[in-house]
Amino acid sequence: MNLNELTITQAANGLRKKEFSSVDLTAACLNAIREKDSEIHAFLDVFDEDAIAQAKQADELLTDWNPELPQLLGIPLAIKDNILIEGKRCTAGSRMLEHYTASYDASVIRALKKAGAVFLGKTNMDEFAFGSSTENSAFGVTKNPRDSTRVPGGSSGGSAASVAADMALGALGSDTGGSIRQPASFCGIVGMKPTYGSISRHGLIAMASSLDQIGPMAKTVEDAEIIWDTIAGVDAFDSTSLAKPDPKTQSIKEFKNLRIGLPAEYIGSGLDGDIKEALLNITKKIENSGAILEYINLPHSSYALAAYYIIVPSEISSNLARFDGIRYGMSRDEGNTLMARYTATRGSGFGKEAKRRIMLGTYALSAGYYDAYYLKAQKVRRLITHDFDSLFNSGIDMIIGPTTPTPAFAFGEKINDPLSMYLADIYTVAVNLAGLPALSLPAGTVMRDNTPLPMGLQLIAPRNAERQLFAAAKEIESFCP
């Protein structure tokens, strides 16, 4: 097996047994990038020299083996290009930041550096994380490694593709409405969004501040947990961040004692028939293992997308106001006034979807419309959150369902109809509105045009129940083809 095809767990084991070095591992990944990425285009920047230098440092630390060494020491990872690495370009997939160099490390990067991880490069994404296909990147699309005529999903499409194509052993993505889970589902890997606050947002280019979270993307659930464990925790730079749940005080139920709920609303008419069949096959196996599977209801689930597409553009319009050509980023001087600098910079620097969302948000927050749109959406959000909370409070341990309504779609299929693109996130957005942790794991394939396309199964857990979520996901992973 080639070293770049290993999982993080296997690689960490091999490093400690001195079967190979971090430099060997990193070189194998860089080689895979050289061979495959001109076709796939997962990476916007590759750090050939710096990655080897980091790997050499890791190898030094590995010679003095001790059981306390961090699990990610010497492990090569890909980082989504909306997460700041000091001294490196950070574009957020946008012309606005095409020439911007980060002036500090994101908190997650500091944590990964402390653990001795290796950074292979920055991955492609929908501009400012607005999208579900990576087609909105200003720097070209990324291809799904399982079918090059199809999208990898988005907005963390580059990160998903880098792991699925064995160009990286793991990656970081970000998720505001499904941007980790949906591309993980489309590319056949594991993607997890933690509880809101679990991972610090300091150094993540903001999209919608009340929903954004960074999360791991990896080949196995075990690998994803290792990444989460390394970067989660309270951070003085993010006042919404939470302490990592203590494994000693948090009890984890055995899988066969779990009550798992399947929402009737998630397997209705909008769901592709093949995905539904594959999902129900797995739920049968879950039942056979002894866990209880029950049909549940999420009465307000049909309103999640509408609430999301008011709240998120509103927060976007506020967060993107900082791109004014003054302190950083593109700056267009087309007249003699301050106003002209603003409007010309923002007119040129932002792509279509960015402008669309900023304008939608500006409208929803404007005088006369704030109550009817933004306030109304935040009230419905309360009801959506309550649907989940009352189920978890009544003894349901976890909620299961499909991650996406269809497998990966073809390039160009949805790009001209914003609403149809938004519908790709129908099962994922409610989770962000409620701030819950959720994970997508590969659950098999469905055939389209004689090509097997991956499909993902989503697990949703109560707030701060990450360890229970990972434990359950590992069990279910063993039932999946």
Partner 1 sequence: MSISEQDVEHIAHLARIKIDAKEKNIFQTELSAILSFVEKLNEVNTDEVDPVNGGTLLENIMRPDEQEDVYMEKKSSLLMEAVAEKSGNLIKVKSVFE
Angle at 113 between CA 108 and CA 116, to 5 degrees: 130
Q: Convert residues 412-451 into a mask of x (bound to partner 1 by CB under 8 A) and - (unbound).
A: ------xx-------------x-x----------------
Indicate the residue among 110 and 219 with the shorter CB distance to partner 1: 110
Q: Among 23, 30, 76, which residue's Cα sits nearest to residue 52?
A: 23
Beta partners for residue 77, in sequence order = 119, 170
Report the alpha-carbon distance of residue 110 to residue 427 in Å, rounded. 32
Catalytic residue among 94, 132, 155, 314: 155
Q: Is residue 257 at the binding interface for partner 1, with CB under 8 A as the rule?
A: no
Catalytic residue among 21, 36, 80, 162: 80
Report the alpha-carbon distance of residue 257 to residue 292 in Å, rounded. 7
Q: Is residue 31 at the binding interface for partner 1, with CB under 8 A as the rule?
A: no
Report the alpha-carbon distance of residue 309 to residue 206 in Å, rounded. 16
Report the alpha-carbon distance of residue 365 to residue 359 in Å, rounded. 10
Residue with tokens 């927050």: 365
Q: What is the total count of residues that contact partner 1 (CB under 8 A)?
A: 69
Q: Is residue 114 at the binding interface for partner 1, with CB under 8 A as the rule?
A: no
Shortest Cβ distance from residue 385 to partner 1 (Å)? Answer: 7
Q: Tell me which of 228, 350, 392, 427 binds partner 1, using CB under 8 A.
A: 350
Q: Among 238, 239, 113, which residue's Cα sits nearest to residue 172?
A: 113
Indicate the residue among 249 and 416 with the shorter CB distance to partner 1: 416
Q: Is residue 326 at the binding interface for partner 1, with CB under 8 A as the rule?
A: yes
Beta partners for residue 402, in sequence order = 457
Report the alpha-carbon distance of residue 230 to residue 236 in Å, rounded. 17
Shortest Cβ distance from residue 377 to partner 1 (Å)? Answer: 6
CA distances from 259 to 315, 394, 465 (A): 36, 10, 14
Active site residue 80: yes
For residues 140-169, which are near partner 1 according to CB under 8 A? none
Q: Strands, E, within 396-471: which ranges?
A: 398-402, 438-448, 451-460
Q: Is residue 385 at the binding interface for partner 1, with CB under 8 A as the rule?
A: yes
Q: Is residue 328 at the binding interface for partner 1, with CB under 8 A as the rule?
A: yes
Active site residue 179: yes
Report the alpha-carbon distance of residue 228 to residue 72 in Å, rounded. 11
Shortest Cβ distance from residue 450 to partner 1 (Å)? Answer: 35
Catalytic residue among 179, 301, 314, 317: 179
Report the alpha-carbon distance of residue 306 to residue 380 in Å, rounded. 9
Residues known to be catalytic:
80, 155, 179
Q: Which residues bind partner 1 (CB under 8 A)?
A: 86, 100-101, 103-105, 110, 196-197, 209-211, 236-237, 239-240, 242, 300, 302-303, 306-307, 309-310, 317, 321, 324-329, 331, 336-339, 341-344, 346-348, 350, 355-356, 358-360, 362-363, 366, 373, 375-383, 385, 418-419, 433, 435, 463
